[in-house]
Amino acid sequence: MSTRVVAVYPGYSPQAAAYDAMNGYVYVSNDDSNNVSVVNGTTIVGTVNVGNGPYVSTVDTLTGDVYTPNYGSNNVSVIRNTTLVATVHVGSGPYSAVFDGGNGFVYVMDSNSSSVTVINGTSVVGNVSVGSSPSFATVDAGTGEVYVTNSNSNNVSVLSGSKVVGSPSVGTFPFDPVYDPGNGYVYVTNFGEGTVTVLNGTSVVGTVHVGSNPFFATYDTGNGDVYVANDGSNNVSVIHGTALVATLKVGSAPTFAVYDPGNGGVYVTNFGYDNVSVISGTTVVGSLTAGTEPCFETYDPGNGYIYVPDAGEGQLSVIEVAYRWNFSEVGLPSGTSWTVNVTGGPVAGSNSSALSFEEYYGTYAYSATSADPDYIALGGSFTLNGSSNRGTIVFSSGPYSVSFTETGLPVGIGWSVTLGTTSRSSTSPTISFTLPNGTYPYRLGYVPGWTPSGVSGSLTVNGKAVSEAITWSAMTYPVTIVETGLPSGTGWWINVTGGPHDRSIASNLSLAEPNGTYAFGVSSENRSWTATGGTFQVAGGATRTVVEFSVVLHAVQFTEVGLGAGTRWSISLEGRANSSTTGLVGFTEPNGTYPFAAGPVSGYQATPANGTLLVEGANTTQAITFTRLPAPTYSLVFVETGLAAGKTWSVALGGQSRSATGAVSFDGLANGTYGFTVGLVEGYAASPTSGSIDLSGTNKTQAIAFTLVGPGASSPTIFGLPVEEWYGVLGGIGTVAVGATAAVLWKRRTPPAP
């Protein structure tokens, strides 16, 4: 078995390596530099700073996250790809961790606090008290239970979820538990007494005596054996079931072992010899030089490498194992020599029907020739990906032309054919081979987005050229269009530009389209609803697009004529009012019938003043004509009191005078302020005699009170008569007296008649 070692330098004192199948990276814990190196192949692609003293990591195989316990800082660093995504605080002295794929929990052994911290994602979901100094754990994939070795209490805590369901006693200083999926047993190395305790559930079913100071163990899925590295006796014990089947001498201080399912080898790190022993079955088949103090190694099934941290010198030894490819030939006459030439590699020849190569992980092209020129064979390639394998080379006489001609692919699209073991590709319509007689399998290469008429088949060359026609058609993928907003049961359509259209009364409809970007429109049988189209892209898989229908709104506009510029007017539409000082009042409405009313504008009459509008799939306009109304007039009535019945009186108002024997009325007066004057009435005084009256939108009445003045006016009585009448009496008396006096005087002046 050939091997080669590549050295990578991650950090100070690398202690342990863990493989992450999600991204193909290997994570190396560097104890003294407090970081984790991320390795892809033989290249460091990232360095993640973590806590103090990172030790044995575990990988969440469901998410790909890496959990690294930091012994010196009592926490766990959670790494995703090359980034630290969380730091989770745990118990004292976290030493190692294990992932349980059954419940998705990570179990962290807190060696100094005799506990196990249970983490789900980045949250602590439990802290379980176990025995003294928990060291390592394994998961029983059959039951989902976790087995934790308690080194200072000589027992194993069996956890289900975050509860202890059993604590079987084992040997002295139990260290490493290993689960055997073949029989369901858990094997516990007892470092202090040179034994391995075999558990079935929580029961001890056997004790196997091994070498001194058994450290770590590994399980070989190929043969079902368990390999135990005995640090104190420099050997490896091989256990099958509950029996010791072999003891193999290895290097000094073997500590750790890992199984390579690719070649069936077990690789044991010899901490004291600075090398790695290789075991096949029960035989040590070689040793590989590593760095100083090799320790916790891991296997990468993606590339077949074994990663060995060399704690003493800050080196990571990457061991690449060579695997064997075995060729057999058919078709040549017996004894005819033939040769296989690996491109860029070895050349091997044979006179028999078989030959082989040993190569490292990878894909290799080759060609084959025969000493007899009448026989030819197709070249090809073979791949070694972690295990040995074989292939067949067919020789036949000929050769003849074999051509594959395609139709359907766009110009410039590459396609390929593997005929026998030879692969060829082209961007032109024809791919040609030259073959001897024989029957050959062929297979077309994958062209994204396109499907051939036949992916694979076989053809026979029998003394003439062969032509095979291949028709390609665009591969279609499901396209789901989902509508929202439409009333249930409403029919709607999608129309793909230059493509199909479809109708549905459900909330979704389905199409099938090849890769590409497609424009589409949507419509509904209910014209009251509308949706905006768009684009969807098909890129090698199903796609889903949502369209939103909404009620169609139309402009409802009212225009006015007749009002003066800047006059505010309003419209009430179905109880909602809008106003404007321009010639337009607008609304936005779905289809329907709407009552409207024009608001009052002082001095104007609206026509129509009200009505209904029908909105039906289009904008609607209603004209409102405002007609100026005549200016309003009002009445002013003067009402008198105090005048004798039938007495005429008058009022002058605004340049006109009117008289009456009762109320004096002025009609047809506009709003305004009017001055008035009450005419003189003999023997009477008016109150008020003048004034002003403001007419503001209403009829008004003005009271005028008359009172007598002079003779006839109201006065005190004398001997029961009004003063004025009494004065009359006195006047009469005076007249009589005067007359009498005059008569006397007249008599005195005139002599008596004779």
Which CATH number belongs to the domain containing residue 371 in this structure? 2.60.40.1120
Q: How many H helices and E strands in the chain? A: 1, 74
Domain edge (last residue) among 445, 474, 503: 474
What is the per-residue pLDDT for 743?
Answer: 38
pLDDT per residue as tens digits for the range 418-430: 999 899 999 999 9
Say which residues have a Cβ less than 8 Å from residue 183's Cβ, sequence separation at least 6: 224, 241
> Based on the domain organization, do 329 and 385 belong to the same domain?
yes
66, part of any domain: no
> Based on the domain organization, do 583 and 612 belong to the same domain?
yes
Residues above pLDDT 90, as percent of the chain: 61
Instruction: Pick the range with the lowest mean pLDDT from 24-28, 143-147, 631-635.
Output: 631-635
> Based on the domain organization, do 491 and 532 belong to the same domain?
yes
Q: What is the number of residues in the chain?
A: 754
Task: Work out whether the CA dihedral 393, 394, 397, 399 comes out positive or negative.
Answer: negative
Instruction: Pick the range with the lowest mean pLDDT from 166-170, 448-452, 638-642.
Output: 448-452
> Do 513 and 483 form a contact (C-beta atoms < 8 A)?
no
| pLDDT average, residue stretch 443-456 | 90
Domain edge (last residue) among 397, 421, 444: 397
List the one residue out of 633, 631, 635 whose CA is nearest residue 699: 635
| pLDDT average, residue stretch 394-411 | 86
Rounded-to-integer distance, Cα 233 and Cα 251, Å: 10
**Residue the block writes with tokens 């490292």:** 360
DSSP notation for 701-726: EEEEEEEE-STTS---EETTEEHHHH
> Based on the domain organization, do 495 and 560 belong to the same domain?
no
What is the per-residue pLDDT for 38?
Answer: 94
What is the per-residue pLDDT for 717?
Answer: 43
Read off the amino acid at residue 186: V
96, part of any domain: no
Say which residues have a Cβ less than 8 Å from residue 669's Cβ, sequence separation at least 6: 633, 634, 635, 636, 654, 695
**Residue the block writes with tokens 């429109």:** 521
What is the per-residue pLDDT for 3?
Answer: 64
Q: Estimate to the nearest angstrom the gap between the alpha carbon of 546 and the chain centroid.
A: 15
What is the per-residue pLDDT for 449?
Answer: 84
CA distances from 445 to 75, 253, 339, 470 (A): 50, 52, 28, 12
What tokens appear for 224 in the block? 């079902």
In the chain the first and final C-alpha atoms are separated, in Å, by 210
454, part of any domain: yes
| pLDDT average, residue stretch 57-76 | 95
> Do 470 and 406 form a contact (C-beta atoms < 8 A)?
yes
Instruction: Pick the range with the lowest mean pLDDT from 310-314, 574-578, 674-678.
Output: 310-314
What is the per-residue pLDDT for 93?
Answer: 95
Q: What is the DSSP letter of 591?
A: S
426, part of any domain: yes
What is the per-residue pLDDT for 461?
Answer: 84
| pLDDT average, residue stretch 620-632 | 91
Question: Where is 747: in which H helix or E strand?
Answer: helix 723-749
pLDDT per residue as tens digits for the range 99-141: 999 999 999 999 999 999 999 999 999 999 999 999 999 999 9
Which CATH number belongs to the domain containing residue 481 in this structure? 2.60.40.10
Greater model confidence, 286 or 752: 286
Domain edge (last residue) among 443, 474, 505: 474
Q: What is the DSSP letter of 752?
A: P
> Do 50 and 77 form a contact (C-beta atoms < 8 A)?
yes
> Based on the domain organization, do 743 and 700 belong to the same domain?
no
397 — pLDDT class (breaks 50, 70, 90): confident
> Do 455 and 444 form a contact (C-beta atoms < 8 A)?
yes
354, part of any domain: yes
Measured at the CA of 327, the angle between CA 376 and CA 389, to 5 degrees, comes to 140
pLDDT per residue as tens digits for the range 505-514: 999 999 988 8
337, part of any domain: yes
Q: Range of 337's domain?
A: 323-397
Measured at the CA of 733, the angle between CA 730 and CA 734, to 5 degrees, comes to 85
> Do 66 and 86 form a contact (C-beta atoms < 8 A)?
no
> Do 609 and 629 form a contact (C-beta atoms < 8 A)?
no
Strands 554-561 and 620-628: parallel
> Based on the domain organization, do 641 and 669 belong to the same domain?
yes
580, part of any domain: yes
pTM value surpassing 0.85: no
What is the per-residue pLDDT for 712?
Answer: 54
**590: helix, coil or strand?**
coil
Domain tally, the chain = 6
List the one residue out of 382, 458, 376 whose CA is nearest residue 417: 458
Q: Where are the beta strands (DSSP E) in 290-427?
A: 298-300, 305-310, 315-321, 323-330, 338-342, 347-350, 354-359, 362-370, 375-377, 380-384, 389-397, 400-407, 415-419, 422-426
Instruction: Pick the range with the lowest mean pLDDT from 5-9, 330-334, 474-478, 727-731.
Output: 727-731
For 736, phi then psi, to 5°, come to -60, -45
> Based on the domain organization, do 547 and 502 belong to the same domain?
yes
Average predicted confidence (pLDDT) for the chain: 88
Question: Where is 749: in which H helix or E strand?
Answer: helix 723-749
Peptide bond into 399 cis (omega under 30): yes
62, part of any domain: no
> Based on the domain organization, do 415 and 439 belong to the same domain?
yes
Residues above pLDDT 70, as percent of the chain: 93
